[in-house]
Structure 1
Amino acid sequence: MVLVLALALIGMLRRQKRLQTVILPATLSCAVPGAAPLRRGVKDLCTGLSLGLFALALAQPQCGTHKELAKRYGIDLVVALDASSSMLARDIKPSRLERAKLELSSLLDRLRGDRVGIVVFAGDAFTQCPLTSDYAAAKMFLRAIESTSMPVQGTNIARALEESKGLLVDAERGAKARAIVLLTDGEDTAGSDVSEQLEGLKALGIKVITVGIGSLTGEPIPELDEHGTAVGWKKDSAGKTVMSRLDEAGLQSIADQTTGRYIHSVSGSVGVQEVWEELDRLDKAEFESRLTVKYDERFQHLALPGLLLLLLGAAIRPGREERRA
């Protein structure tokens, strides 16, 4: 582009010189329309060159590379989600389980640099998603959780804590801060003793944030058909409707023994905002670093000369011949 504009200027100067041999310079601009004086040509050239350089700068040319040390800071977090049949109760819409899944998905959207794993439990517990910083994959595993897929019904909180602890302890390049978010209605139907697990978690400095999902007054548990439609209510051996109530005292005790926090869900939320605030207080330490290659940006080497040429063109004033014309 620069070469073309330079050749155009040379051609213009030669044409101007030939015209000046037959026409007086003072009457050149009037006698021959379009025969711009030298100053006008230089001004146009500066403007054209500046625009060309700006266009090239916008393409963001790159040349050369340099290395940068990229560090990642965060915590290791395990979400333990209760998927027992009592989580199908609908005192929180659309159900305790579905609402928990929706809001956990929004929690994943807020994480930056942290690793997250998912443990799902009912009468037993297993790892649904290992620790990962791939939040899209974690969301996929979260959406797949269904109460009907649990092999053993009931609620065994001790097993949930044991599985979550194992996931954190066995992690490679573990973070300094580690936490478990336990989402459940708290009704431990398995009668498990959580004291041993809590002692181990406290010794390791792993906080447990408990989120109580459900109402204190209780809610019946729907019986679902193969299409997921409620066809009745769960009954006990005496034929009475089973009411699922939040065990707030038990969840508060779990949080207190690990210097964590208990959060009570409300009708429109399961307390994700409060969970996020609590996690944000944890000490996010560096647990991964890597060298990355970056390309050097060179747009400034084109933009600066373009700006100077634009200012130079603006500073050129018309000659006396142009003013009289």
Structure 2
Amino acid sequence: MYQLEESKYLYLLLIVPVLVLFFIFHFYWKTKKQKEFGDLELVKKLIPQYSGFKSSLKFLLMILGLSALIIAITNPRIGTKMETIKREGIDIVFALDVSKSMLAEDIAPNRLEKAKQIINQIINNLQGDRIGLIAYAGSAYPILPMTSDYSIGKMYLQNANTDMLSSQGTALDQAISQAVNFFDDDQQSKLLILISDGEDHGNDANEALELAKGKGIKIVTISVGSLKGGNIPIKENGKTVGYKKDSSGETVLTKMNLVSLKAIAAASNGKYLDGNNTKSVVDNLQTVLGSIEKNESETQQIAEFKTQYQWFLGLTFVLLFIDLLLFERKTAWFTKLNLFKENNNV
């Protein structure tokens, strides 16, 4: 298994197609100018030592070297072996609301980012527990299967956004139903942490709650947002250009709904927590976790991830060194071979 420690730098690879397009444009522009100057074959005779092949080869080496350098910057790591570890903990599934209402900024920076901050802090305080991640709006979608690798969990969490699901709304029943099937170890104690602004446009969650209770799943609900509510901003290039409107043209006002979240927590013998204070949430959740029986189990995970950036960095230097040694003129001994039986080979 491999990881990219700084995967955000992969966006730099977008430079490559831009450079390729520029090279192609420059090639056609140069050819056009040569034709304007005179007969193309005569022009070539005026510069008999120029090699179009070597010019293209130098560009290819530069592109490959740049790509290798960018990959080196991401610091790729490869897991070298699997190891079996014993752990004592519980299985925790985070159900994150990614509906559009979570973009409301009645709590800084917005409800969704606040929810991510809470989950991150909770994960930071875990030890020996497995985690999973579900995103839900009008439907629920599994993002991360149960794992003991918290760093991967945080990476998947950071990528969660309101465009993940095409069906909008907030269906709490879908989130609970998805979680019931998400837990993969019947012997472990199970906790579902459901984070939302509480708006519920789904069906009655009673049936899903019964399924959860039958599986022994305790549910903690965490609210984000304010009772006063807020508008849902529409942004372009990071700037607010307007606010979401309903079918009648009125600006949508989304308010936090505590009733549904408290009801779900009570029905599962769980707990409701106000997410506006991250520290309070984490402290209270530690109390909840302390009250849940922890079972010992064995799991396999990849250990000893070793960095591999040096190979790509070395390849970068080799390619660029070859590029520096190449000149845009024909090689005398290669020309004399006349492999293609032509007068003006590279």
TM-score normalised by length of structure 1? 0.63
Matched AA of 1:211:
I
Match of 1:215 in 2: 226
The residue that corresponds to 1:230 in the other structure is 240
Q: Distance in 2 between matches of 1:271 and 1:232?
A: 33
Match of 2:128 in 1: 113
Task: State the partner residue of 2:291.
Answer: 281
- C-alpha contact 2:243 2:251 (8 A) present in aligned 1: yes
- Specify which of 173, 176, 190 is matched with residue 178 of structure 1: 190
Q: 1:223 and 1:107, CA in 2 relative to 1: closer, same or farther beyond 3 A?
A: same
- Residues 252 and 235 of structure 1: is their aligned pair in 2 closer, same or farther, counting only changes over 3 Å? same
* Structure 1: distance between partners of 2:104 and 2:286: 25
- Structural RMSD (CA): 1.9
- Partner of residue 217, structure 2: 206
Distance 2:124 2:292 in 1: 18
Match of 2:116 in 1: 101
TM-aligned CA deviation for residue 174 of structure 1: 4.2
Match of 1:88 among 93, 103, 109: 103
- Equivalent residue runs for 1:1-325 within 5 Å: 71-168=86-183, 171=184, 173-190=185-202, 192-225=203-236, 227-266=237-276, 271-288=281-298
1:172-227 Cα shifts (integer Å, max 9, x gaps): x444310100000111123x1100010111122110100111111211111122x3
> In 1, distance between residues paired with 2:231 and 2:299?
50
| Counterpart residue identity of residue 105, structure 1 | N
1:154–1:189 contact (8 Å) kept in structure 2: yes
CA distance in 1, matches of 2:103, 2:173: 21
In 1, the alpha carbon distance for the partners of 2:227 and 2:270 equals 22
Question: Would the alpha carbon gap of residues 289 and 221 (structure 1) be closer, same or farther in structure 2, given more than 3 Å must change?
Answer: closer
Contact 2:180 / 2:215 at 8 angstroms: preserved in 1?
no
For the 8 Å contact 2:193–2:220, the answer to whether it is kept is yes
- CA shift in 2, pair 1:270/1:143, >3 Å: farther
Distance, in Å, in 2 between the alignment partners of 1:230 and 1:289 is 47
Q: Once the two structures are superposed, what CA deviation does each residue of 1:99-128 show, in whole Å capped at 9, x if it has no partner?
A: 111221121111111000000011111100
Over 3 Å counting, the alpha-carbon distance change for 1:95 and 1:110 in structure 2 is same
Take 1:262 and 1:139, find their aligned partners in 2: how far apart are those partners? 23
Distance (Å, rounded) in 1 between the aligned partners of 2:278 and 2:147? 29
Equivalent AA in structure 1 for residue 245 of structure 2: K
For 1:283-307, what per-residue CA distance to the aligned partner results, in whole angstroms no more than 9, with x for missing partners? 11112279xxxxxxxxxxxxxxxxx
Shift of 1:270: 8.0
Q: Distance in 2 between matches of 1:70 and 1:240?
A: 56
Question: What percent of counterpart residues are identical?
Answer: 38
Whether the 8 Å CA contact 2:191–2:219 is kept in 1: the answer is: yes
Task: Give the drift of 1:272.
Answer: 3.1
- Do 2:90 and 2:129's aligned partners in 1 also have CA atoms closer than 8 Å? yes
TM-score, length of structure 2 as denominator length: 0.59
Change in CA separation of 1:256 and 1:268 when aligned onto 2, cut-off 3 Å = closer
Gaps of 5+ in 1: 1-68, 291-325
One-letter identity of the residue aligned with 1:258: S
Alpha-carbon distance in 2 for matches of 1:220, 1:70:
48
Rg larger in structure: 1
Equivalent position amino acid for 2:201 in 1: T
- Matched position secondary structure for 1:232: strand
Q: Give the conservation status (yes or no) of the 8 Å contact 1:92–1:268.
A: no
Query: How many angstroms apart in 2 are the aligned matches of 1:228 and 1:150?
Result: 21
Cα distance between partner residues in 1 of 2:86 and 2:111: 38
How many residue pairs align between the two structures?
217
Write out the 4+ residue segments of structure 1 that deviate beyond 4 Å after TM superposition: 267-270
